[in-house]
Structure 1
Amino acid sequence: MTPTGNTKPQLPASQRLDLRHVNIEYVVDRVESALMTRLHRDQVVKKRRSMGYRSDRGTWVRIECRGLERLDGQGWGLEAAGVLASVPIPAWHAGLSWHDPARQVMWRADETALIDEPPIGRSIAASSLPDSWWTELDRAMEALAEASTTRLATPDLKPISVERVRTAIAKVFPDAETPIEEWSTAHADLNWANMTGPELWILDWEDWGRAPRGLDAANLWFSSLAVPGLADKVLERRRADLESVTGRTMRLFKCAELLAWAAEDEPLHAPAARAVRDLLGGTAMSRAS
């Protein structure tokens, strides 16, 4: 669906609307009516582009705002993720979506099983996860990688592609080689805030799909660089992905995305720069040096 009439070009919804600061009570009213349940509005979990609520029947309801520019024919990620076997995803129960012409966005609500296990959140909290958690993560990531799908991953709301990866790296490391030889199925937003512990559940599936091998592992490795020993732990567990030809490119991609804009006082700047020197053998000219 696309807007009609004399609609002027506008910023993507992710830049126009921050749900942490926008009143969407009329959206919540509609979701409650359609799902025939009441949401605990005083316990809402707010993020930039989604909001989550417990329901009065012991389920979880996630409401997402998506700009019309993101209607790509792939469907809604959480509902589609129901086909992924052996991956710890909250069971999906029901969903609804509609066009909001006043805001020029699509709204989507999904009702799922309620997961009481808390998100890990900050990377420092991941340091104390038991070995059993890492074993479950390995199993989940291997099952996900092997899943067949026609969906294309959309990390940070944008479709992944060879051109996107190489362009991002070339901005910072113009002489770096960036081979991408393998693709697999990925969550595409795998970070410590989207996983629970000590029992593993993986949350927020709106961006999953095919991606260069190692994207998920590179996300975790990169977000762990500032915590002593944690990135090494991720590398140890996911070495086959991260040390593959494509996996090394994905690690460089994650570092380049940050180093393109970050000042030296950014906590991840120094460890990312050191990681790049290891990846490139200290030979490339870059802003990280």
Structure 2
Amino acid sequence: MTLSVPTGRAVDLRAQPVDEILDRVERSLQTRFDRDSVVRKRRSLGARTDRDTWVRIERRLLNKIGDQGWNGTERAARLMGISQPAWQGCVVWLDADEPAMWRADETELLLGGPIGTAVLSEDPQLSDAWWRAFNASLDALAAQSTSRVATPDTEPITQDLVTASIRGTFPGAFDTTVEQWLPAHADLNWANMTTPTFCLFDWEDWGNAPRGLDSASLWASSLAVPALADRVWRERHADFASRDGELMTLFVCSKILGPDAHSQDPRLEPARQMVEQTVQELHSD
């Protein structure tokens, strides 16, 4: 029997008071936050502590927490060969008023500053050394093994989701069956990596996903800067050249071109061009 989980209201942590949440985490982790360092996002908070660590706090509805649990950052600590901030510990609690859970993970400080927002409008001018470290970490991640399922946008990625996303936006006669499922970060964008030293953070949603999800996601985040999108494509060419990489290209383009498309999004036209090319290639496979 499948138990139903009540749904709660969405909360935007950029808009609501958060002092009580910060106070609770301070007491639980026995530390103090630098309140001037607090970063507020829609469903997460982050702040520097007085022991020179970083704490990320997230609220997630219970119906968005599957059977595998909600411990991506903790589980990522065992991954080898990846540049990421070392995990220190956590505190988790159930919301007293809503069907939601809170989680605060403490890690070492980042090795550099975040590159920018999730979608860039300017070239960050990354060094060749940065790209080498980036490739080494993504290759090391894909070579490992996990029972976790990736949850991009907090939704478990499944064959049905891939097919529905692609078919719902790009109907056609080509096969959408994924052949390779490999560990992926599942939230790879320019807000979750640092420069000048490469470091990849925010591991809440990592797990097995179709090959090429991370590469395609970063490429899609770069489309407003053509030279940067081209660099991502060249660096991760092996992913994009695979059949699964082609499917993931369509998967990420479905988010740009689908029902929620924004008419002023500068990524629309390059995404359309890539979809046309990719669909032709899939038909010829």
Q: TM-score, normalised by structure 1?
A: 0.90
Letter in 2 for 1:101: A
Q: Is the 8 A contact 1:44 1:53 kept in 2?
A: yes
Structure 1 residue 187 and structure 2 residue 185: aligned? yes
Aligned mate of 1:158, from 152, 155, 158? 155
Distance 1:10 1:92 in 2: 30
Mapping of 1:171-210 within 5 angstroms? 171-177=168-174, 178-210=176-208
Tell me whether 1:143 sits opposite 2:140 in the alignment. yes
Q: List structure 1 segments (4+ residues) > 4 angstroms apart after TM superposition.
A: 124-127
Alpha-carbon shift at residue 65 of structure 1 (Å): 0.5
Check conservation: 1:126, 1:192, Cα contact below 8 A: no
| 1:88-119 residue CA offsets vs partner (Å, 9 max, x unmatched) | 11011110101113122111111110115111
Alpha-carbon shift at residue 70 of structure 1 (Å): 2.3
| Contact kept in structure 1, 2:111 and 2:199, CA below 8 Å | no
The 1-side partners of 2:249 and 2:146 are apart by 24
Instruction: Give 1:236 shift.
Output: 0.8
Partner in structure 1 of residue 237 of structure 2: 239
The answer to whether structure 1 residue 106 and structure 2 residue 101 are counterparts is yes
Give the gaps of 5 or more residues in structure 1. 285-289
Aligned to 1:287: none
Structure 1 CA distance, aligned partners of 2:281 and 2:140? 35
| CA contact 1:120–1:126 (8 Å) conserved in 2 | no
Residue correspondence of structure 1 range 216-227 to structure 2 within 5 A:
216-227=214-225
Root-mean-square deviation over aligned CA pairs: 2.1
Match of 2:265 in 1: 266
SS in 2 for 1:257: helix
Instruction: Kindly indicate whether the alpha-carbon contact (under 8 Å) linking 2:115 and 2:124 is maintained by their aligned counterparts in 1.
Output: no
Structure 1 residue corresponding to 2:209, chosen from 208, 211, 229: 211
2-structure distance, mates of 1:62, 1:196: 16
- In structure 1, C-alpha distance between the alignment counterparts of 2:173 and 2:80, rounded to whole Å: 37
- CA deviations over 1:1-40 (Å, ceiling 9, x no partner): xx99xx9x544x5xx1011111122221111111111111
Amino acid at match of 2:24: R
Determine what percentage of the aligned residue pairs are the same residue.
47
- TM-aligned CA distance change 1:133 to 1:283, over 3 Å: closer
Alignment partners' CA distance in 2, 1:71 and 1:84: 22
For residues 116 and 23 of structure 1, what CA distance do their matches in structure 2 show?
Answer: 30
Q: Which residue of 2 aligns with 1:23?
A: 17
Establish whether residue 80 from structure 1 lines up as the match of residue 75 from structure 2. yes
Shift of 1:127: 4.4
> Within 1, Cα distance between the matches of 2:27 and 2:229?
45
Distance 1:125 1:83, change over 3 A: farther
Instruction: Report the equivalent of 2:46.
Output: 52
For structure 2, the residue ranges without an aligned partner over 5 or more in a row are none
